[in-house]
A and B are shown apart, each in its own frame.
Chain A
């Protein structure tokens, strides 16, 4: 059992650093380690990397975690460089106060490291989760190592006026530093995963309009990760078999070699086309944040979509496809806002712009996404234009970042547009966005 315990803890730490490890994989890893042994550190790392990490990023994360985890011997003398987790060094453990004094006096590095390991385990160090717990755990580890007894010893020596006291005091100070490092390392190993995960979950369900500036970078990473997952699933042209409809022409052709006797049957199938998307984004005021993430999402999905044409509007409407293709999304958005200006939105005017300039691109393969709060500041909503778009397009989806309860109140024309849209969705968080985009890719009719 002692062989497996350090590995099990390593798996736990590795999961924290973002490598997914299933139970089956951990069994494989244990078998792999049995096959290669602990003798060669590089080989051990390679072996674990081969079995556990499944992408280049995971390999890098795992290697970093490996180095952190198996760097347990930094107190050790250089000749004892290779760690041997097969036999985790166990010092005298808790309450070995006299032992600690002796170790400090002799400066026995490896033994001190071993004692620290054991004390860490006794103090439940792998349960550490927050950086505020560092001091608490450092204290606990020191207690388990028997610092109290050494402190008493120092006090006694001082009373006796022994010069030894100062030397011992210095050794204890050094030890404190080392324990603090040790705790810090454990915090990195065991706590990172959970807190990251927690934050990400939180971010996914935060209203995008309320998002903190400092979370933008992390949000972008999240959006890209989700988009990548969806793109991988939907990027290839797909066909769907129509159950029970024999494709007679192909079947005859295929079975010609056997005199037309149908050994192999071919069934009719339908090709599922990638969606063509036309996006109309309101970029005024509170909708701007949402627009940014929607556009980021769609452009990260490039491979899974046949074509994207994007338009931005506030007081009037312009096409922004080129700007978005040429520049990274953050600078592109700023540029777009610069061109359109921060005016108040005028839906009727913008829709008329779209009809005049680009109605020709709306055809039966196109999905029109309109993102906006439908608040036109009491201008004419020109509902009939949306109706005309709807008759030409495959479908019209309206995404509204407001709470459903706010629709139709004040100057909101949401309910006047709604009858002409195939789908009207509230869409304010990343999770909503993911759902909408998945629907978009999933719909085959």
Chain B
């Protein structure tokens, strides 16, 4: 039963820190991530329900950043696993150290005479051989990959399974055991369960629909584009050099840009980059020419730049209030 009382508790350090939703908000803010109320609630629930969080949303809204900030805040190691088509168990979970196993058998072959030297019958030799532990498939020869490392981390860890939608369906199914029970089964060794369940964050760009089984095991967090107030706070935290006046103007401009019919509307990471560019260029206020020259930081498609360029004058005027 996934809900049994003997489910291991989260990291003790995290237990002290994740006391309330406000604590999550403040903690993440302190490590440079300004969360919306919904994000904070998700992190709080993830800890208290011991469930992974599946984060969906457009590129650049801070899905991966969330995991990094949680790790920084809780002072846990971040273990990142980037998914791609063809990712399999050997790369995600564990692999045997074949080279070492090979050496081991060679050593065994050389030493076997010494070890079995004093036995005189075949049965005695076999008996002696059985006396040794079967080292060939033992944890010493196991090369842990990200998932296993996350389970084995003593003080807990933050496991980031990035872009899970890019992996194969078989791999998704394989994740289920880890996500629901925080354990894996290695055929030669047996079950390995986490001593301290890691905080698991999965991200997805909705390349394809994930399976219901996976979704059901996760808290589903959708991060959209932030509203103006939140975005201004994010800029203030990330680009403190930009003064308040410029900040309000550039955020207002980006917000109105998102209202246009664009192929790819600018996301938060682009706003941050743009703010940095404007600071580098010593901008105090938004000027139409300056915006036109730096628009390629915000928009990544030629057609989008054209669309925005046509209405640039009004947009800038509106942003300046």
Given A46-B41, A50-B42, A263-B98, is A36 in contact with B220 using a C-beta cutoff of 8 Å? no
Among B76-84, B109-117, B183-191, B208-216, the stretch in contact with A: B208-216
Q: Measured between alpha carbons, how far is A28 from B45 in the docked complex, in Å?
A: 10
Contacts of A235 in B (CB 8 A): 208
Q: Measured between alpha carbons, how far is A232 from B219 in the docked complex, in Å?
A: 22
Map CB proximity to A onto B201-227 as digits: 1 under 8 Å, 0 otherwise: 000000011001001100111100000
Among A5-13, A53-61, A383-391, the stretch in contact with B: A53-61
Q: Which of B51-86 contact A (CB under 8 A)?
A: 51, 56, 85
Cβ A43 vs Cβ B37 within 8 A? yes
Q: Which of A282-317 contact B (CB under 8 A)?
A: none
Give 5 A-B contacts (CB < 8 Å), ordered by A residue: A22-B216, A43-B21, A47-B41, A259-B102, A263-B98
Cβ B38 vs Cβ A35 within 8 A? no
Given A46-B38, A50-B38, A50-B221, is A36 in contact with B45 using a C-beta cutoff of 8 Å? yes
Q: Measured between alpha carbons, how far is A307 from B9 in the docked complex, in Å?
A: 52
Cβ A27 vs Cβ B3 within 8 A? yes
Number of interface residues of A (CB under 8 A): 32
Cβ A28 vs Cβ B96 within 8 A? no
Given A56-B222, A232-B209, is A46 in contact with B49 using a C-beta cutoff of 8 Å? no
Residue of A nearest to B98 (CB): A263
Cβ A28 vs Cβ B48 within 8 A? no
Contacts of B182 in A (CB 8 A): none
Contacts of B208 in A (CB 8 A): 232, 235-236
Residue B321, interface by CB 8 Å: no
Q: Measured between alpha carbons, how far is A28 from B3 in the docked complex, in Å?
A: 9
Cβ B98 vs Cβ A35 within 8 A? no
Residue B23, interface by CB 8 Å: no
Residue B133, interface by CB 8 Å: no
Residue B274, interface by CB 8 Å: no
Q: Least Cβ distance of A440 to chain B in Å?
A: 20
Residue B90, interface by CB 8 Å: yes
Q: Measured between alpha carbons, how far is A236 from B170 in the docked complex, in Å?
A: 13
Q: Least Cβ distance of B45 to chain A in Å?
A: 5
Q: Which of B81-138 contact A (CB under 8 A)?
A: 85, 90, 96, 98-99, 101-102
Contact of B49 among A35, A43, A257 (CB under 8 A): A35
Q: Measured between alpha carbons, how far is A429 from B95 in the docked complex, in Å?
A: 51
Residue B33, interface by CB 8 Å: no
Residue A77, interface by CB 8 Å: no
Contact of B37 among A25, A28, A42, A228 (CB under 8 A): A42
Residue B253, interface by CB 8 Å: no
Q: Measured between alpha carbons, how far is A186 from B192 in the docked complex, in Å?
A: 49
Given A54-B215, A54-B220, is A31 in contact with B49 using a C-beta cutoff of 8 Å? yes
